[in-house]
Amino acid sequence: MNFSKETLALVKEADEALREVYAKIDETALINTSKVMNAFKNNRVSDSHFSASTGYGYDDAGREVTEKVYAEVFGTEKALVRQCICNGTHALTVGLFGLLRPGDTLLSVTGKPYDTLEEVIGLTGVNGNGSLKEFGVNYKQCEIGQGFTDMLDDKVKVVYLQRSRGYGQRPALSPKDITEITRFVHANSNAYVMVDNCYGEFTCAEEPEADLLVGSLIKNPGGGIALTGGYLAGTERAVELASYRLTSPGVGGEVGATLGQTRNMLLGFWMAPHAVAQALKTAAFSAYVFEKSGFDVSPSYSESRYDLIQTVTLHDPEKLKAFIRAIQYSSPVDSYVTPEPWAMPGYTDEVIMAAGTFTGGSTIELSADAPMRAPYTAFLQGSLTFEGGKLSIMNALEATKNS
């Protein structure tokens, strides 16, 4: 790879300036690895837990120990961790339909949720598809920081928070922020608090408190090893209700064949703190070099990070395409493919995406995507190795400046 002298000089400057940032990320990874190590030891994970089950999956010891490990690490009473959960949106849908009933109200206190949940709630989409709205669930929202005390009435059954920014520009929520909101809601209502925890796991030394923390295994907690899956972790009752939605009432989490995926799920969880640290270093590096090159970024390289997502705002559709394509060209898989904007299912705008990943759609591996709308912001996340992430960002910088 031939880089300009200007880019190489900027990289050297960035590595010097970010030494303390990198050290803090490594410290967090050590704390989180210790938590995972203790959970594996306390729950006596063994080679026998990697055996596959089929059919109903009754008495699957590997499935049971995986869920105990998740619950311990996340500090929750119970967890549901399954390879049959297709993605984060599926996991969130399981949680929402598990907790809500006709006549209840869902209150989002972090504004409009991520694009793919709009049809789940019934904000967009075709009538008859089975949204929450069609089942008689009401919906209200407010922006984070506006206050929601007056909206927290007796009909609100679920208070919903999205930890990450999604396709917005607001900062990610810290575990402390989420925990404070959870405790306020519990003190002032009977509502459940459900958190879209995607992109946030292991970015901090602690996880937030909530009735349900929900995420995807092809993001942070899968560590780049899990091939698919999702999790819901929280109070015993909330997880139980979610399990009845995943399978059926009365059966819940007692069934579910693992089909040989337990090893990958546990190995991925073991690797997750390190993988997240690599992604955070890549994000900080990208923030530095693009900010110093005159682009708008969020968060800044010196800000605290509560999720993996790094935004770079290009203010130009052609520069945005150049950025995304450079990430794809730097990928280990499908590096020869040229991304084009397309109408992805569940999204309101055309999306251009770079995802040259070993696992399809994995966003703990380096990926980047963007809705094709002003101000033309790229959303970067992941990277299993900092070295690979750094080279990809260097390519993206040169491609963007030359477009």
| pLDDT value, residue 115 | 84
**Which tokens is 282 given?**
């890549």
Segment 239-256, tens digit of pLDDT: 999 999 999 999 999 999
Q: What is the rounded average pLDDT of the residues 65-80? A: 98
Band (pLDDT 50/70/90 cuts) for residue 1 is low
| pLDDT value, residue 126 | 83
Segment 207-239, tens digit of pLDDT: 999 999 999 999 999 999 999 999 999 999 999
Segment 331-362, tens digit of pLDDT: 999 999 999 999 887 777 899 999 899 999 89
Q: What is the rounded average pLDDT of the residues 366-371? A: 94
Sorted by where each begins, the domain ranges of the chain are 5-32+271-402, 49-267
Q: In what order do the strands lie in the sheet with 105-108?
A: 78-82, 230-234, 212-216, 192-196, 156-162, 105-108, 138-141
| pLDDT value, residue 144 | 86
| pLDDT value, residue 206 | 97
Percent above pLDDT 90 for the chain = 92
Segment 120-171, tens digit of pLDDT: 999 988 888 999 999 999 999 999 878 899 899 999 999 999 999 877 778 9
- Please give the CATH number for the structural domain made up of 5-32+271-402: 3.90.1150.60
Mean pLDDT of the chain: 96
| pLDDT value, residue 152 | 95
Is the pLDDT confidence value at 114 over 70? yes
Q: What is the rounded average pLDDT of the residues 368-382? A: 95
| pLDDT value, residue 166 | 78
**Which tokens is 251 given?**
């059966």
Which CATH number applies to 49-267: 3.30.1490.20, 3.40.640.10, 3.40.50.720, 3.40.91.50? 3.40.640.10
Is the pLDDT confidence value at 306 over 70? yes
Percent above pLDDT 70 for the chain = 100
